Structures are given as structure tokens and as C-alpha cells.
Structure 1
């Protein structure tokens, strides 16, 4: 009887500890997400130099030390904010492996191209273009951030190559990938939609026509 009671007591005592541990993990993740949301907003609105870690902490409702303990530095937080702005969350899942892109494989080839361009337009129309400007601002004085920019662009080129293979059913040659990488870029979106006043839909229509001009119709 004593052994039975002792076993039950031990199990009962263990449950709250596991619950508190899970609750703490959820709280840490929630805090991290709130810091990232604040970083995306402030870096996009104010750029690199005018955004401080203190302002991000205040916006997120946490201590400055919490920001540093979670991300290490202001520039690391900017990089994380860019990643979140591109895919919508902090999960380490590439864009081409996410549900919107995977669904395109079930569409006819011509709709795959328009769908892929629409995904790019949706991303660019958010805070990404302004965060990219903040990253380049930081890169001007920091070689590590400059390297990050190079890596992000290399990753975007890989995404363009995978998009073309999805749409056309074959691997595109390097020249075609280079051209599409240049056409379907944050820079063209910024030029047309922010500087010239185009809508995102107008940019998407132009991008589809431009890709078809160089890569052919699917």
C-alpha cells in the first residue's frame, strides 16, 4: 500500500513540473515572436540607423536584455526579421517547400507561372522591400551584413531556378535563370510599384510577360 501511494504521489508531483516546463517554452516562443513582429515593423518603418534595440524592446513590451539574450545583436535581429517577413514565420522551411508553392505543382503550367509570380508579389508588397533597404543600409558599414545580403540574393536566385523548373518541367540554363532573377526582383517591384505607382497586380502581369519573353510560354 505504501509503495502504491508513493508511486501515485511521485507521478502527481511530476505532472505540474512538466506542465510548467511546457508553459515556459510557450511563453519564450511567444516573447520571441513579439520581438520579431516589433523588429519587422520598426526596421521597415525607420530603417537601420533610426531603429534601436531599446525601441524594439519597448514595442514588444520586454526588457532590452531579453532582446539581446534572444538574438545576440541588433544586426542578427534584422536578419531574423527579414527571414520572417519573407515566409511569414520563424520556421526554418524554405519558401519552395511551403504549402502555397507546393500547391502549384497541381496546376497547369501556365497557371504555375502566374501563381509563382503572385507569391513573389505578395511577399514584396509587404515589409520585405523596406527591410531589404534597411539591410543594405546596414551592409554599407558592416561586412558581415553585406555577406548576408549576398547570401539572400543567392538564395533568391536558387528559388528562381526552382520556380522555372516547376513551371517548365525542365532545368533552365544559367543565362535564363540570371535574367529571371533580375526581372522578378525586389528592385523591379520597388521601381514600378513604389516609385512609379503601379499596383502589385500590374507588376505581376508585367513580370509574367517578361518571363515568358525570355523563357517562353509554359
Structure 2
């Protein structure tokens, strides 16, 4: 049976774990991320002729390096490269949730957004045009209510199409000032020369320029574990036996 891996990401209290429990039922297990006290839950569910392995990432408001939860969620999406990242947003507080969404869209093209708590949004008189939001973000957006089992059939069908490659995305990417974009492009090119297409070079360039030392160390460790430590000579980017520091 074909199996796909799906990472569940989202802010705390968006109903992410409710969706996880609804889909996987009792077919779950938990374990700690290597070197961290953060616990990840994984579970399985079947749809049509495939099996989905669902990994419930820690709830976070961002994917920087401010906490172990953020690091684990970030590292899983970037380094483990799930087939799809299923991003759960709170339909009653969409503006706050979109901050995380924009970060995830920088990290991977394989994103499916579900607007959870649509039942609560309706009670509050909120109307959300999921189709228009999908056009703006460049990825599918599915309204659901996990606790009421509403929209889950459409969600599963869309998930299967994304995982199998039958549906393509064109994620929205943040654009910055002309000066900053020039720096991003320069560093992105250098990173692409080192890493190829294995990791999201533009996103890494943005984080490196922001001085994310923990991400730099995590990437260096990942490369060292694969025997790919190296360096871009005469550039701002150095791996291998360097100190890991980058000046931008």
C-alpha cells in the first residue's frame, strides 16, 4: 500500500490535535525528537487505496529559533521533507494564523491549508472566502470543522491529489526591499551551489541574513551527518570546519 507522510502544523488552540485524533483514531504512537524533550505524535489513517502517516508537530506561532517547539516543527518540515505540510488555521482568528502560514509557504511548496473551527466562525458572523484566499496564497484552502467531521472528505481528497502530484501549487512568497532582495538572491545562489535542490535555498538565505545561528548549526549538523560538509569559497556562506558564523 502506498504511504505518504503529512506534517500537521499550526498555532496552539487551532484544533490541530483534534483533527489529528479524528483522522487517526487509536492508530497513534508518540516519541521524543532526537536531543529534545519535545514529544511528537504520529498516527495513520487510510483514504481510498493509500495510507497517510500523520505527524502532529508542536503548536507554534512562528518557525524561527525562539524555543524547542519552534525548532522541532521547523526542522521537521525542512529536513524531514514530508510529502505535504497540512497547515491548520483558526477561522475565528485568521489574521493571527496567517503569520505562520506565510513562513511555511517560504519553506515548502507542498502545503495544504485547512480553515478549522468554521462552525465557531459562523456563530460569530464571520464569512471567509476560501476560494479567494486560495488564489492569494497559491495553495488549496479547505474549510472544515474537525470536531463535527465537516469537510474532512474534501480535505482527504485534496491531500491525496497533492501527495500524488495530481495537484500543483504556486505558493505566495514575501517580497522585500530591492536592497534586501539583492542580498537574498546572492546568498540563495551560493546556498543552491552547495545544497542543490535538497533544501529551500531562498528561505535559508532569509533566515541566515536574519542571523539565525541555531538554524545554521542545525543545517551544518545535517550536512555533516550526510557527509556533505563543504564551503562556498569567497562567499558569506561556509560549512564544514568553519565556526558556523555568517556575516551578511
TM-score, normalised with respect to structure 1:
0.27
Q: Which has the higher helix share?
A: 1
The structure number with the bigger radius of gyration is: 1
TM-score, normalised with respect to structure 2:
0.25
Larger RCO (CA under 8 A, 6+ residues apart): 1
Q: Which has the higher strand share?
A: 2
